């Protein structure tokens, strides 16, 4: 007997009262032990479209909807709800095996075509010349991308994205995604190829173990711990992977792989499953899983445990700590060396002290940025290399004599900072890269890196050097749209070849609703982002399969009015049971912008927790800057101080900066707002004082 759990069953289970959840676990235990036992009370439901759907009694009030085959012993748990609601859910549902995708599908068959308007002119996501758009695809093509034959006449009536959204509830999720891709300019033949790849299965005769089917259905075996699977802490990403994710996770590559995708597309999830795959292949593998910050590292350690991986099985650490530890351990820098950052007062002070002893027509700011953006970015080791190195992005042109003068001061800086015991982080990364590039002895067999858009060339060069160039060496994931530090990356200059088939893209957003996703993308309209290969990253091609509440954007006359609105919404959401305090985050660009809001929360007796320094009530509302929200998610997000005059934030003497520096600052802030907005799962509320900004 096989028993499969539909991912929507888990969604409905989580909404049940606690005592019903307990009864459901008892019911499932009975079911997988003896599915034909008399105590289960299988009941036929009248007037169902699918005659194989059954109601099974969980208790006096709640019913589970199960698909029972005409013959054989493969059962599927599809939904659980109050008696009447469960029956309504099942009324028009069809559950069928699709031989074109090697997957089961759940969809509705009531007269969907009648709900489609004959002409729509109000679409905000219109494609050019959408007249009879879906009719341009043949029945054979639509079947191959998963459209059930009975739905093809209705699908042929879809003329634009408004029509598609109206029909979304009637379509299998994979079909909705595929049709959206076609409207977004996707190629039908490429889609068919991807569907056919997902049809493959490792086990002969086990078609229901295909990647396409495992996206929505999980087999419950005797070894599975039901208490773990059916718990509030269970994460769907532990089991249900998109076929594109599963292929990334379980393929063997002859070199580096780069995975990009918008916020919430499951990049980190794929990397964690990849770590488990590599450990399963060889438990003795030396694996480094790194990311940019300590807070993201802490999240990785917590989440990876849910996959049954103990942190002791691999090294999970942020890249700065890894580099510092190895550099000191290998004697590349002294054990008491002070590693500093390029935005620190120490770095600027060192340059000023060097200039006191070395006359130059260039000031400390120019020399510090020249050293960082040209010398360290390109890992320049001597004056001859510096003379011929392109100074891409630098404003002032330098002739050979001027470059010679600049290099003399740079050499003086290197000598002085080393004598004083200071090493810039990028210097350490380059020293490590130079060391390991000259030896066959490497500290790791595999390296996985998350949030690579935050890394610099020096850090990528370091990662390349600490693992041999061979099968499954580097697995690098990130989102160019979240490049909040304005880092310029060039993989080829770091010895990492990720062009062509070594670059993969995840497109389905699993975190936010489609409404939130669209609003977030609107705030970065007009900003170009590099895709890590010298080309522009596309902002289209992403879709969320989750529909929800439209985000709000309000401006007020005074800060007091804005704070009153935020606290009132929180109090109301808690009162009606819609949210818990810890599911909410209030954020702003700067910590100072939250000062008065803290007072408003205190006045209303709303508990809160500071994400930046981990203080306060852990069960309370989260308070955070945009930066500290990175990598996290919350059911509801409130973003404050967004209006003309406060956004984008302009530092002191901003108007004295050159145009390129101003543009970079504004682009970084738009990217940062995008990051903050995409932390929201279900509710997004943006507010400010004064005049609305046009971007939203």
pLDDT at 114 over 60: no
Residue 541 annotated as binding site: no
Report strand pairing: 2-6 vs 74-82: parallel
Residue 93 annotated as binding site: no
Residue 260 annotated as binding site: no
Determine the average pLDDT of the residues in 110-125. Answer: 49
pLDDT digits (tens, 9 = 90+) for 502-519: 889 898 888 899 999 999
Q: What sign has the CA pseudo-torsion 615, 560, 570, 642?
A: negative
Determine the average pLDDT of the residues in 190-212. Answer: 84
pLDDT digits (tens, 9 = 90+) for 645-679: 888 888 888 888 878 788 888 888 999 999 999 99
Residue 368 annotated as binding site: no
Q: Single out the residue of 18, 89, 81 nearest to residue 53, CA to CA.
A: 89
3-state secondary structure 422-451: EEEHHHHHHHHHHHHHCCCCCCECEEEECC
Confidence at 126, pLDDT banded by 50, 70, 90: very low
pLDDT at 498: 85
d(CA 220, CA 407): 66
DSSP state of 493: G
pLDDT digits (tens, 9 = 90+) for 84-95: 999 999 999 999
Q: What sign has the CA pseudo-torsion 302, 306, 307, 310?
A: positive
pLDDT at 193: 94
pLDDT at 128 over 70: no
In 251-339, where does DSSP find H-type helix? 267-281, 294-305, 319-329
Q: Which residue has better confidence, 602 or 46?
A: 602
| Range of weakest confidence among 373-387, 394-408, 522-536, 637-651 | 522-536
Residue 24 annotated as binding site: no
In 371-442, where does DSSP find H-type helix? 383-388, 400-420, 425-437
Confidence at 180, pLDDT banded by 50, 70, 90: very high
pLDDT at 127: 47
The helix or strand, by DSSP H or E, that contains position 243, with its residue range, turns out to be helix 243-250
pLDDT at 120: 43
Residue 645 annotated as binding site: no
Question: Do the beta carbons of residue 447 and residue 474 sit within 8 Å?
Answer: yes
pLDDT at 534 over 70: yes
Residues in a beta bridge with 477: 259
Question: Do the beta carbons of residue 227 and residue 25 sit within 8 Å?
Answer: yes
| Range of weakest confidence among 59-68, 159-168, 221-230, 259-268 | 221-230
Residue 201 annotated as binding site: no
pLDDT at 278: 96
Determine the average pLDDT of the residues in 147-174. Answer: 92
pLDDT at 300 over 80: yes
pLDDT digits (tens, 9 = 90+) for 561-571: 999 999 999 99
Determine the average pLDDT of the residues in 367-393. Answer: 92
Question: Do the beta carbons of residue 562 and residue 526 sit within 8 Å?
Answer: no
Tell me the C-alpha to C-alpha distance, in Å, between residue 584 and each of 505, 579, 622, 638, 696. 30, 8, 6, 8, 22
Residue 238 annotated as binding site: no
Q: Single out the residue of 312, 318, 265, 258 nearest to residue 289, CA to CA.
A: 318
pLDDT at 72: 78
Q: Which residue has better confidence, 331 or 222?
A: 331
d(CA 295, CA 629): 10
pLDDT at 660: 77
pLDDT at 231: 73
pLDDT at 531: 79
pTM higher than 0.75: yes
pLDDT at 204: 57
Mean pLDDT of the residues in the chain: 89
DSSP 318-368: EHHHHHHHHHHHTTSS-TT-EEE-TTSHHHHHHHHHHHHHS--SS-HHHHH
Question: Do the beta carbons of residue 435 and residue 330 sit within 8 Å?
Answer: yes
pLDDT at 223: 66
Token duo for residue 81: 């709800």
pLDDT at 268 over 90: yes
Confidence at 111, pLDDT banded by 50, 70, 90: low
d(CA 233, CA 218): 17
For residue 140, give every residue at least 6 positions away whose Cβ sits within 8 Å of its Cβ, in sequence order, or none. none
Token duo for residue 527: 């900003």
Determine the average pLDDT of the residues in 438-460. Answer: 95
């Amino acid at each position: 007997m096989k028993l499969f759990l539909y991912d929507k069953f888990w969604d409905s289970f989580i909404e049940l009262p606690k005592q019903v959840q307990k009864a459901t676990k008892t019911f499932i235990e009975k079911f997988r032990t003896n599915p034909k036992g008399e105590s289960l009370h299988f009941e036929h439901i009248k007037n169902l479209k699918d005659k194989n759907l059954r109601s099974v009694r969980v208790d006096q009030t709640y019913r589970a909807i199960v698909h029972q085959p005409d013959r054989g012993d493969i059962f599927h748990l599809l939904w659980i709800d109050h008696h009447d609601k469960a029956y309504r859910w099942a009324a028009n549902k069809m559950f069928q095996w699709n031989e074109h995708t090697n997957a089961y599908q759940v969809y509705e068959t009531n007269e969907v075509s009648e709900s489609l308007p004959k002409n729509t002119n109000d679409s905000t996501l219109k494609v050019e010349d959408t007249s009879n758009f879906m009719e341009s695809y043949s029945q054979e093509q639509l079947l191959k991308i998963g459209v059930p034959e009975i739905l093809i006449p209705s699908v042929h009536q879809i003329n634009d994205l408004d029509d598609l959204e109206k029909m979304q509830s009637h379509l299998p999720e994979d079909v909705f995604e595929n049709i959206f891709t076609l409207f977004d300019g996707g190629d039908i033949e490429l889609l068919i190829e991807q569907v056919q790849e997902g049809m493959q299965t490792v086990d002969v005769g086990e078609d229901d173990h295909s990647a396409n089917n495992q996206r929505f259905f999980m087999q419950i075996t005797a070894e599975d711990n039901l208490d773990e699977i059916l718990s509030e802490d269970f994460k769907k990403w532990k089991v249900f992977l998109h076929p594109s994710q599963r292929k990334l996770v379980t393929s063997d590559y002859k070199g580096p792989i780069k995975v990009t995708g918008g916020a919430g597309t499951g990049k980190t999830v794929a990397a964690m499953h990849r770590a488990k795959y590599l450990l399963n292949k060889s438990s003795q593998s030396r694996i480094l899983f790194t990311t940019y910050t300590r807070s993201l590292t802490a999240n990785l350690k917590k989440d990876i445990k849910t996959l049954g991986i103990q942190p002791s099985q691999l090294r999970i650490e942020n890249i700065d700590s890894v580099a510092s530890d190895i550099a000191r351990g290998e004697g590349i820098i002294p054990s008491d060396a002070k590693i500093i950052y390029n935005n620190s007062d120490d770095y600027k002070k060192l340059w000023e002290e060097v200039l006191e002893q070395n006359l130059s027509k260039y000031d400390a700011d120019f020399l510090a940025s020249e050293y960082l953006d040209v010398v360290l970015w390109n890992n320049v080791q001597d004056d001859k290399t510096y003379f011929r190195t392109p100074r891409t992005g630098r404003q002032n042109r330098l002739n050979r004599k001027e470059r010679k003068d600049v290099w003399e001061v740079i050499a003086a800086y290197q000598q002085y900072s080393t004598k004083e015991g200071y090493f810039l982080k990028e210097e350490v990364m380059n020293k490590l890269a130079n060391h390991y590039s000259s030896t066959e002895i490497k500290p790791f067999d595999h390296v996985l890196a998350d949030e690579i858009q935050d890394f610099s060339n020096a850090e990528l060069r370091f990662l390349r050097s600490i693992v041999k160039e061979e099968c499954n060496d580097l697995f690098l994931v990130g989102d160019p749209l979240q490049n909040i530090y304005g880092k310029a990356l060039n993989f080829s200059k770091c010895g990492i070849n990720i062009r062509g088939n070594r670059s993969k893209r995840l497109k389905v957003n699993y975190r936010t609703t489609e409404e939130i996703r669209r609003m977030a993308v609107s705030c970065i309209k007009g900003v170009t982002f590099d895709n890590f290969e010298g080309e522009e990253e596309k902002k289209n091609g992403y879709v969320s399969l989750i529909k929800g509440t439209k985000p709000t954007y309000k401006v007020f006359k005074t800060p007091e009015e804005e704070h009153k609105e935020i606290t009132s919404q929180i109090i109301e959401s808690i009162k009606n049971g819609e949210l818990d305090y810890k599911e909410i985050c209030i954020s702003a660009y700067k910590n100072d912008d939250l000062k008065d809001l803290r007072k408003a929360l205190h006045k209303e007796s709303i508990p809160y927790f500071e994400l930046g320094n981990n203080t306060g009530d852990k069960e309370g509302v989260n308070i955070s800057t945009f930066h500290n929200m990175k990598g996290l998610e919350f059911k509801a997000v409130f973003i404050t101080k967004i209006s003309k005059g406060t956004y984008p934030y302009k530092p002191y003497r901003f108007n004295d900066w050159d145009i390129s520096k101003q543009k970079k600052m504004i682009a970084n802030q738009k990217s940062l707002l995008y990051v903050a907005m995409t932390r929201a799962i279900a509710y997004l509320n943006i507010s400010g004082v004064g005049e609305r900004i046009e971007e939203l």
